[in-house]
Amino acid sequence: DTGVSQDPRHKITKRGQNVTFRCDPISEHNRLYWYRQTLGQGPEFLTYFQNEAQLEKSRLLSDRFSAERPKGSFSTLEIQRTEQGDSAMYLCASSFTGGAHYGYTFGSGTRLTVV
Amino acid sequence: QQQVKQSPQSLIVQKGGISIINCAYENTAFDYFPWYQQFPGKGPALLIAIRPDVSEKKEGRFTISFNKSAKQFSLHIMDSQPGDSATYFCAASKETSGSRLTFGEGTQLTVNP
């Protein structure tokens, strides 16, 4: 297993366009997390799944954002009608039940630039 | 609402020196305190972590000191090396909230040769 994989690594889009990111977690992990990191800041929690169920969403996750994890495997994060303020690194992490207490593994992220 | 505050924002030390990064938290329900290391273009990687029932944990050159009454914890990097140059984040979580991490703002560490 090669760890948490995120695709694409970089995405440049025009304001108003929709974008979708994919995360493939470590196969044995049943929890999957999405975080957003802006330049010079720590990651901020967006949402998490346990298996296919989305159990928590941050207030940061506006109605333009939607995340799915069909069949409890990979996950997608879609941003509709992108805005310049959406420019950030989007990080995915996975873990066993018990979450951070059992060690998250983060992917290398998808860097989104909205022009 | 910033629940974990980290300082300093940046730190420059000489090779072989001690790097010290401090964090303070507000939520007494937090029960897990990890430190992450992040290199440019990479995701954060777990360095070392501590639970509030111990006051210190050491792994190699890295030590966490934890003060529950003061709601503070710190990372000490002994014999700092140029390869330690990275951004360090403290974080906190509680299992009952799904273990989502609340991160500090980060410290950019530069170790000069």
For chain A, the residues whose C-beta falls within 8 A of a C-beta of chain B are 4, 31, 33, 35, 40-45, 48, 50, 55-56, 91, 93, 95, 98-101, 103-104, 106-109
The answer to whether the CB atoms of B43 and A106 lie below 8 A apart is yes
Amino acid, res. B30 = F
Q: What is the pLDDT of residue A2?
A: 72
How close B80 comes to chain A (CA, Å)?
22
Tokens 């979580």 sit at which residue? Answer: B93
Q: Report d(CA A90, CA A23) in Å as an integer.
A: 10
Residue A99 has what pLDDT? 66
Min distance A42 CA to chain B CA atoms (Å): 5
Q: What is the pLDDT of residues A13-59, one digit of tens each?
A: 999 999 999 999 998 888 999 999 999 899 999 999 999 999 999 98
- Per DSSP, the three-state class of A82 is coil
Is A96's pLDDT higher than 90?
A: no
Instruction: Please report, for residues A21, A110, B57, the alpha-carbon distance to residue A9 in angstroms, rounded to integers and kept in the order given.
Output: 9, 4, 35
Q: What is the mean pLDDT of residues B98-105?
A: 88
A96 vs A51 pLDDT, higher one: A51
Q: What share of chain A is helix, strand, coil (3-state, %, to 5)?
A: 10, 50, 45
Contact between A35 and A57 (Cβ < 8 Å): no
